[in-house]
């Protein structure tokens, strides 16, 4: 029996470790940009790891499917851009709470999910590509001052992307931070290992709801939940839509009181836990995501030193690390943005608005990129019908 479970346990461990390593730099950058303190950042990361670790265990066990729940990495990239609005972390937490309620409502009211799905994929993808663009160019900007750190990480990423794609981002990020620790003097104390679990009292601001909650919800649905369901279907699993959306929505709502943002179905991690290499019997692959959930829970109690180290490093390097982690996301988003010729122009305009950093009435570029792309799409549709 132990030998029978060895492969799923290894797969779940690898998926959880690599997925977290590849994305945590983006998450930490997002929380810092929104004004979270070091204690609030450590708490938010720990709360999200605990939340989606426990959900991965419970949902996988109940439905006997490799259901992997993670934080929204594209959503985190969107939040970095929202940090320029200077809304305060309490208002951001209030926006996270609204996002959680929207995710819960989507599970309870499928018509809302169909409405989100009616937004053309090229426009949603172009919006994501636009808001993460500044971070994807950050590694090349950082070369001017930190070539000895950035260039080796870029070379390693390129080589591994060619020969072992799943390891490209986590290995390059690990090398990146290793070089930062070696070459950049930082004042570290490491006087705390366990996260402080500092409670945040969410406050509600209309600008934050429009500029953070709604784009975060749309990105989470379009870039995580919908692809996650599709990937699982490609391995012949029908994800129980309502329980997954309701549980991740409620977990996001609860997590907002600790500074956590959106939890959702995994996409890449799902593929690592659901493929035929995990176990010949599809009914046994749920062990991979369940054990991966246990790994997430263990990680939650060891994030404080990592948070202190990352926040002590120069901001330009943290943005550069986030950019390397987002290269693949940028490539996928740009490909999807231009895959439909009739929507190519709205996609390009959406991308340009998102990349511009436009902020009107205190509302950031993610929202206006969607508005601009959808309006242009509808104008072109009216002309076509005429």
Q: Does pLDDT of 260 surpass 90?
A: yes
Please give the average per-residue pLDDT across 8-13, as a whole number. 84
Q: Tell me what pLDDT residue 97 has.
A: 97
Q: Tell me what pLDDT residue 253 has.
A: 97
Q: What's the pLDDT tens digit per position in 269-283?
A: 777 788 787 888 888
Q: What's the pLDDT tens digit per position in 234-258?
A: 788 888 889 999 999 999 999 999 9
Q: Which helix (H) or strand (E) holds 207?
A: helix 206-208
Q: Does pLDDT of 226 surpass 90?
A: no
Q: Which residues pair with 263 in a beta bridge?
A: 71
Give the single-character DSSP code of 216: H
Residue 194 token pair: 């366990």
Q: Tell me what pLDDT residue 2 has.
A: 47
Please give the average per-residue pLDDT across 97-110, as a whole number. 93
Please give the average per-residue pLDDT across 107-115, as a whole number. 82
User: 20 pLDDT band (50/70/90 cuts)?
Assistant: confident
Lowest mean pLDDT across 12-21, 31-40, 54-63, 205-214: 12-21
Question: Does the global pTM surpass 0.85?
Answer: no
Give the single-character DSSP code of 211: I
Residue 296 token pair: 């997430």
Please state at what angle helix 89-108 crosses helix 110-117, rounded to 10 degrees: 110
- Cα distance between residue 98 and residue 208, in whole Å: 10
Q: Does pLDDT of 349 surpass 90?
A: yes
CA trace torsion 152, 157, 162, 165 (10° rounding): 150
The residue that leads in pLDDT, 200 or 184, is 200
Q: Tell me what pLDDT residue 206 has.
A: 92
- CA-based angle 115:119:125, to the nearest 5? 135
Sign of torsion over alpha carbons 370, 373, 376, 380 = negative
Q: Tell me what pLDDT residue 191 has.
A: 65
3-state secondary structure of 313: coil
pLDDT above 90 coverage of the chain, percent: 39
Q: Tell me what pLDDT residue 1 has.
A: 44
- Cα distance between residue 205 and residue 19, in whole Å: 32
Q: What's the pLDDT tens digit per position in 131-156?
A: 788 888 999 999 999 999 999 999 99
Q: What's the pLDDT tens digit per position in 307-342?
A: 777 777 887 888 888 788 778 878 888 998 898 888
Q: Tell me what pLDDT residue 10 has.
A: 82
CA distances from 285 to 4, 46, 255, 344 (A): 11, 26, 28, 39
Q: Tell me what pLDDT residue 69 has.
A: 95
List the chain domain ranges: 2-385
User: 362 pLDDT band (50/70/90 cuts)?
Assistant: low
Q: Does pLDDT of 65 surpass 90?
A: yes
CA distances from 47 to 104, 142, 148, 166, 195 (A): 18, 31, 35, 26, 9
Please give the average per-residue pLDDT across 13-31, as a whole number. 83
Please give the average per-residue pLDDT across 53-71, as a whole number. 95
């Amino acid at each position: 029996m132990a030998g029978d479970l060895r492969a799923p346990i290894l797969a779940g461990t690898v998926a959880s470790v690599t997925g977290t390593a590849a994305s945590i730099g983006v998450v930490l950058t997002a929380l810092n940009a929104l004004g979270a303190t070091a204690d609030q950042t450590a708490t938010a990361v720990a709360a999200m790891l605990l939340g989606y670790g426990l959900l991965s265990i419970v949902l996988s066990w109940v439905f006997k499917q490799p259901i992997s729940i993670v934080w929204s990495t594209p959503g985190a990239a969107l939040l970095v851009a929202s940090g320029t609005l200077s809304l305060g972390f309490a208002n951001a937490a209030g926006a996270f709470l609204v996002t959680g309620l929207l995710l819960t409502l989507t599970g309870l009211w499928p018509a809302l999910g169909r409405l989100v799905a009616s937004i053309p994929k090229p426009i949603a993808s172009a919006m994501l590509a636009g808001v993460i663009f500044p971070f994807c160019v950050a590694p090349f900007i950082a070369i001017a001052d930190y070539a000895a750190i950035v260039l080796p990480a870029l070379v390693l990423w390129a080589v591994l992307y060619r020969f072992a794609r799943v390891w490209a981002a986590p290995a390059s990020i690990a090398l990146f931070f290793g070089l930062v620790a070696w070459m950049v003097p930082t004042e570290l104390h490491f006087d705390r290992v366990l996260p402080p679990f500092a409670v945040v009292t969410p406050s509600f601001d209309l600008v934050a709801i429009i500029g953070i909650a709604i784009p975060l919800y749309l990105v989470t649905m379009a870039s995580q939940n919908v692809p996650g369901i599709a990937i699982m279907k490609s391995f012949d699993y029908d994800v129980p839509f309502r329980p997954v959306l309701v549980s991740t929505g409620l977990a996001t709502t609860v997590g907002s009181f600790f500074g956590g943002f959106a939890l959702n179905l995994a996409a890449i991690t799902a593929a690592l836990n659901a493929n035929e290499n995990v176990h010949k019997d599809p009914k046994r692959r749920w062990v991979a995501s369940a054990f991966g959930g246990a790994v997430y829970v263990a990680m939650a109690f060891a994030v404080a030193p990592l948070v202190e180290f990352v926040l002590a490093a120069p901001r330009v390097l943290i943005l550069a690390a986030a950019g390397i982690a987002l290269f693949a996301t940028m490539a996928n988003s740009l490909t999807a943005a231009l895959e439909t010729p009739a929507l190519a122009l709205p996609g390009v305009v959406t991308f340009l608005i998102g990349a511009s950093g436009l902020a009107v009435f205190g509302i950031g570029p993610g929202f206006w990129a969607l508005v601009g792309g959808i309006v242009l799409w509808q104008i072109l549709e009216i002309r076509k019908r005429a």
